[in-house]
Amino acid sequence: MKKLTKEDVINNLNEVKNFVEEIDNEKSSKKEIKLEIKNRWTGDVIFSSTKETYKEAVKEAIDSGVNLRGVDLSGADLSGVNLHGADLRDANLCGVNLSGADLSGVNLHGANLRDANLSDADLSGANLSGANLYGADLYDANLSGANLYGADLSDANLYGADLYDANLSGANLYGADLMNAKFIGKIDNPKELNKNQVDDFLNALGFKIK
């Protein structure tokens, strides 16, 4: 058996040390990634973040210029987050908490907001056309100037919501609560409702149709 020299021992120790450091570095880099934001359709990772919460991760993604179209953030707590002007078309936001959030000017066309908490949220000027808002809580939400064309608002809570100049044409209002909602509009530019929406609209306002 070959006798190891002092130099051989030092070289071996250095190799072991370097190997251990590589493993530690790999573990550290993996620990840095705490949250992943994925596409709802493909499951592909759109954005990886070292942040502790989805609220921080989403804000980081937007600030980084990431397109969040089609993301899956279902069930996430995004209360109070500022998403002004973001592109969230076709996003899965089912059951998400967006209470008090700034969603002004956000594009939510075709988004799934079923059972989402949007109470006190600012949705002024938002595009919610074709969005699924079934059972959503929009208590005291600001929907002034919002586009709700063709949106599903059935069983949604719109109590006290500001719907000034909002487009409700073609929206499903079956079972919705519009008590104390604000509809002050422009006399020279009245908002339209389809004939088949009238009964649901009046019911939502608390009128009993005989």
Domains in the chain (CATH in brackets) are: 8-210 (2.160.20.80)
pLDDT of residue 28: 47
Percent of residues, the chain, with pLDDT higher than 90: 68
**pLDDT band at residue 205, thresholds of 50, 70 and 90?**
confident
- Residue 29 or 113, more confident: 113
Residues in the chain: 210
How confident is the model over 29-51, as a mean pLDDT? 84
Q: How many CB atoms lie within 10 A of CB 183?
A: 14
pLDDT of residue 184: 73
How confident is the model over 52-65, as a mean pLDDT? 92
**pLDDT band at residue 15, thresholds of 50, 70 and 90?**
low
Q: Quick check: 189 pLDDT over 70?
A: no
How confident is the model over 146-169, as a mean pLDDT? 95
Q: Quick check: 185 pLDDT over 70?
A: no
How far does CA 188 lie from the centroid of its chain?
35
pLDDT of residue 32: 72
Percent of residues, the chain, with pLDDT higher than 70: 80
Distance CA 70, CA 76 (A): 15
**The pTM is what?**
0.79
Quick one: three-class SS letters along the chain?
Answer: CCCCCHHHHHHHHHHHHHHHHHHHHHHHHHHHCCEEEEECCCCCEEEEECCCCHHHHHHHHHHCCCCCCCEECCCCECCCCECCCCECCCCECCCCECCCCECCCCECCCCECCCCECCCCECCCCECCCCECCCCECCCCECCCCECCCCECCCCECCCCECCCCECCCCECCCCECCCCECCCECCECCCCCHHHHHHHHHHCCCCCC
Distance CA 144, CA 164 (A): 5
- Residue 83 or 34, more confident: 83
